[in-house]
Amino acid sequence: VVMVAGAGAAQQQQQHQHQQQQLQRDVSKEAQLVCGRPRVSELKTNKRVARIVGGNQSAFGQWPWMVSLRQWRKGAFLHKCGAALLNENWAITAAHCVENVKAPDLLLRLGEFDVSNQNEPFPYIERHVRTVVSHPSFDPKTFEYDLALIRFTEPIQYERNIIPVCVPQGNDSYVDRMATVIGWGRLFEDGPLPDVIQHVDVPIITNQECEKMYKSAGFVEEIPDMFICAGISKGGRDSCEGDSGGPLTMIDHDGRSYLVGIISWGIGCALPSQPGVYTRITAFSPWINQIIST
């Protein structure tokens, strides 16, 4: 009898695991179907005005995968870094944003637009954090492998202002194409934090060009292929403090927005010959997909 009961329990456990795996496959399939397509035309939009470091104020729902990663400080969850939504259960950010921070001290706010305005077409939602999976090779000295995946305590539902970004496959270098950086980071170095989400378009450059530009500015930086650089030699367009962990995205040939990079590091903000350096997502997409599909 004990053996039969044990066999039955094992079979039930196996069935449960199979159901969970099927559910996760369904979640991944749904994310692939809806990813990278904002539904801005269905929303009330605001006029854009020139702001950020050479960029623009965004329209409501324009970047529905953008997430505000918040940390408990001074009695409240305050914005610390950006992140990007990957599916109903997972977001991605920079490992340096969550280093030495316990999961209960983190909160993710999705669908946010103007932090000073509660009266928006669709509300934001918040999720506490169940698990943080930083890349096991993350080096806080060099910022290599600067990625972390964050699992919510419970799944989210997609809304007009909450849609995942697509994870690219293949190994496109994206050189000489324009990408978009998004965030609530400072509008200039040591400047104020904006209330409304900002974006700026920057060209992707080769890592060799990136190293040359830093050298011309007096910095010797080795930038291996796990990074991707974006910026212009005269400066003026860049991410800044508070943007770390946020997405660098690009609209590909199929009209969808793909996650090209995660904001990792830079020297100053938008200074000449000091481009922004991002973790290259195509180098890590197998690792990302393996974790978010479990």
Please name the residue that has the structure tokens 């292929």. Answer: 225
Higher pLDDT, 3 or 30: 30
Residue 178 phi, psi (nearest 5)? -90, 140
Give yes or no: residues 257 and 187 share one domain. yes
Domain membership of residue 4 (yes or no) is no
Q: Is residue 188 part of a domain?
A: yes
Same domain, 252 and 199: yes
Residue 291 falls inside a structural domain: no
3-state DSSP percent of the chain in helix, strand and coil, to 5: 20, 30, 50
Report the catalytic residues: 96, 146, 244
**Which of 55-64, 99-108, 166-175, 276-285 comes out lowest in average pLDDT?**
55-64
Last residue of a domain, one of 107, 132, 164: 164
Has residue 91 been placed in a domain? yes
Give the predicted TM-score (pTM) of the model: 0.83
**Mean pLDDT score across all residues of the chain:** 82
Length in residues, the chain: 294
Do 122 and 183 lie in a common domain? no
138 and 181 within one domain: no
Segments forming the whole domain that contains residue 219: 177-282
Find how far residue 262's CA is from the centre of its chain: 6
Is residue 134 within 8 A of residue 95, CB to CB? The reply is yes
Mean pLDDT of 149-172: 95
Give a yes or no: residue 139 inside a domain.
yes
DSSP conformation class of 255: S
Does residue 249 share a domain with residue 192?
yes
Domain presence at residue 52: no
Instruction: Count Cα atoms within 13 angstroms, Cβ side, for 279.
Output: 27
Q: What string of H, E and C letters represents the secondary structure of 132-185?
A: EEECCCCCCCCCCCCCEEEEECCCCCCECCECCCECCCCCCCCCCCEEEEEECC
What CA–CA distance (Å, rounded) separates 157 from 275? 36
Check whether residue 152 and residue 181 sit in a common domain. Answer: no
Give the CATH number of the domain where residue 196 resides.
2.40.10.10
Residues 207 and 271 in one domain: yes
Instruction: Look at 3-7, 48-52, 135-139, 255-259 and tell me which has the smallest mean pLDDT.
Output: 48-52
**Residue 268 pLDDT exceeds 70:** no
Boundary-marking domain end, from 110, 130, 164: 164
* DSSP classification of residue 259: E
What is the average pLDDT across 88-103?
Answer: 96
Which token pair is 67? 């997430």
Q: Does one domain contain both 68 and 143?
A: yes
Q: Could you give the CA distance from residue 232 to residue 205 in angstroms, rounded to a whole number?
A: 9
Token digits for 133? Answer: 């999976």
Smallest CA-to-CA distance from 114 within 168, 163, 184, 44 is with 184
Domain total of the chain: 2
Residue 289 zone, left/alpha/beta (φ > 0; ψ -120 to 50; rest): alpha
Considering the domain architecture, whether residues 158 and 188 belong to the same structural domain is answered as no
218-257 per-position pLDDT tens digit: 888 899 999 999 987 665 454 555 578 999 999 998 999 9
Q: Are residues 130 and 206 in the same domain?
A: no
**Is 97 in the same domain as 156?**
yes
Listed as own residue / partner, the contacts of 283-289 with beta carbons closer than 8 Å and 24 or more positions apart are 283/171, 283/225, 283/226, 284/135, 284/147, 284/226, 285/167, 285/168, 285/169, 287/135, 287/147, 288/86, 288/92, 288/147, 288/149, 288/167, 289/28, 289/167
Let me know if residue 28 belongs to a domain.
no
Query: Does 41 have pLDDT greater than 60?
Result: no
Residues 183 and 251 in one domain: yes
Residue 32 lies in a domain: no
Whether the per-residue pLDDT at 48 is higher than 50: the answer is no
Phi–psi pair at 223, nearest 5 degrees:
-125, 90
pLDDT of residue 4 exceeding 60, the answer is no
Give the end of a domain, one of 114, 134, 164. Answer: 164
